[in-house]
Structure 1
């Protein structure tokens, strides 16, 4: 599966931290299939646990119906490993100078992270029209984003960080915020217990917005 932008796939991008045990590749594939069954055709696998890159590769190979990206990409090494594994989009929590330079040569969509108006402007000036704002809730939530987007034209925002099922609608009402990133679709307890039907139900609720 490929699209012009990951921001246009679903109102919620599931942000997933896969457990190290059992095999994260097996869990990742089952989780991806559960999301697809609920109508959510995108998944961001964060590079926070061992085996995350391997899981990205398995999802890409075994669940072609879903767009799989790498999240929490902190450096060029993580970027290269994610792309080699077949990640179809890249998400960073923040954007160092080295990472920003490397992202300019990537041939898949990227959501570079920013935490201030200045950082958003710097990324926009570097050619990025789609930006992740993190951590959205501690920064001020929808009120902060509304104030940011007022004077800053030419960008679309995907906020993540502390967003819940209850708070998501307030973000999605904002102009140029087509989606949010959140972990509530894939709670760790449901992933660990392999409760895939419950995750499908959460995905269905999110995709029906």
Structure 2
């Protein structure tokens, strides 16, 4: 019997996978808004009406390694924009878990098409949210906050290096904080030998 079709189901969305070889299929799903563990199911149907199912738990995170080696000739594409936005959201969620909860300003949805424009207020939100996160964790000096204006100069490579470098350093700071959190160990049992 031969495989007729292969489908995947993830986060409530079902998609057909594309055949790319004799026994290989590929496809993609949009990542959920919230980080966490999600179930992925892949179903292969043969021409005899049989189905084989494989289930897997997939960890989804908004964190993507920042680009900290921007050069003057590097263009800013939507993957860069979405990475910076999602990393700021990730830092906010993580810092809110490790410290007292706080909010940053909503930066909107990911950009999905190359016809979308960048606006000064979007980059200003990134700068403001970076500053807000920095003020709620162990405050570091990441250089002066830049403000952008419509029809003014676009964000440059030095500012992108500062912005993404600060994001990386804040994540490392949160890693260190999480690793160093005090743990209280105790043993349950009777109170033999304990004098009060």
Q: Is the shorter-chain TM-score for this pair beyond 0.5, marking a shared fold?
A: no
Mark the structure with the bigger radius of gyration: 2
Higher helix share: 1
Q: Could you state the TM-score of these two structures normalised by the residue count of structure 2?
A: 0.22
Q: Which has the higher contact order (CA 8 A, sep 6+)?
A: 1
